[in-house]
Amino acid sequence: MLILGIDTSCDDTGVGLVRIDGGVPVVVANTVWTQMVHAKFGGVMPELASREHVERIDEVTVAALSEAGVKMSDIDAVAATHGPGLVGALLVGLLYGKGLAQGLGKPFYAVHHLEGHIYAAASEAELAPPYLALVVSGGHTHLFDIERVGEYKLVGATRDDAAGEAFDKVARLLDLGFPGGPAISRAAESGDAAAVPFTRPLAGQGGFDFSFSGLKTAALLAVRGGRYRTEDIAASFQRAVVDALVTTTRRAARTLGRDTVVVSGGVAANAALREAFGATDLRVFFPGRGLNTDNGAMIALAGAAAVLAGREVEGLSAGAAAYLPLASS
């Protein structure tokens, strides 16, 4: 079975193909067009993002089919993100996917964006629940306990900024460019992570939430104080964020009796985060190459997981949703 997945939730136009071979989903194509038009604004401009998706989605789809060496008529099902995300951007991929499915006479799967991120990592080891899933990106910082396929319990989330959003904002303060995560990571390589004494947020909490707004403000004060090098602020900020993510996730794992964690989303590509998780006693799995940031293959993987589990996923009646919880706490 060959599933085509589409993601246009923000500023990446992603189309991927996944083949279910012997009951195992295998990524056979993953093509992403990254919009560079937003760099000069220091953040994503929703209207521009929607227009870029409209202009690029055809060629990205053709490129994915070419990469996989298949024809449009070979597709057995179509999956597309229906939320959460920028509504205008979501509509482009959602309507395009529905049109393809109807034109081909194939099933359509409406996929939750965070579920796509989770399966981008879980598919690497063909994991079976139970496990924890930390989704950490520019728009999301969520911690889920997954006992069964398709059942998600939200056990922790950010109370303010997402981790990736905080990286973007601090990178802008430091004049390091956009997107902020890779920019701060590069600057941190030549910085002293112990130079700036950032307080770890929510260190004494009883739950498993995250908070990065205070760190962002502390970084602003460090910049205005003029005492620290840019590289030192970047390194210290990165360490504080990584410490918060790893410490809280480890505590949740101990409390809930889990020994396996999947970490996904754009921030999962951060080398310091991977190294820190690697030093824990947890079994930790990250997405494979090209699957950290938003992409179509992860949506196809989520569709494949639904197929293999025999789940019915809402299809052609699904609408685009800017706010769409995957689970309730």
> Is residue 136 annotated as involved in ligand binding?
yes
> Is residue 270 annotated as involved in ligand binding?
yes
> Is residue 262 annotated as involved in ligand binding?
no
> Is residue 135 annotated as involved in ligand binding?
yes
The candidate with the shortest Cα–Cα distance to 122, out of 107, 135, 109, 137, is 135
The candidate with the shortest Cα–Cα distance to 134, out of 175, 109, 163, 106, is 163
> Is residue 139 annotated as involved in ligand binding?
yes
> Is residue 117 annotated as involved in ligand binding?
yes
The candidate with the shortest Cα–Cα distance to 49, out of 63, 64, 33, is 33
Please list, in sequence order, all residues whose beta carbon lies within 8 angstroms of the beta carbon of residue 113, skipping any fewer than 6 positions away: 7, 9, 81, 83, 84, 85, 294, 299, 324
Residue 24, exposed/middle/buried by CB under 10 A (0-12, 13-18, 19+)? exposed
Both tokens assigned to 301: 């993987």
> Is residue 294 annotated as involved in ligand binding?
yes
Q: How far apart are the first and last CA of the chain?
A: 35
> Is residue 113 annotated as involved in ligand binding?
yes
Distance of CA 142 to the CA centre of its chain: 10
Q: List binding-site positions for Fe cation.
A: 113, 117, 294
Q: List binding-site positions.
A: 113, 117, 135-139, 168, 181, 270, 294
Q: List binding-site positions for substrate.
A: 135-139, 168, 181, 270
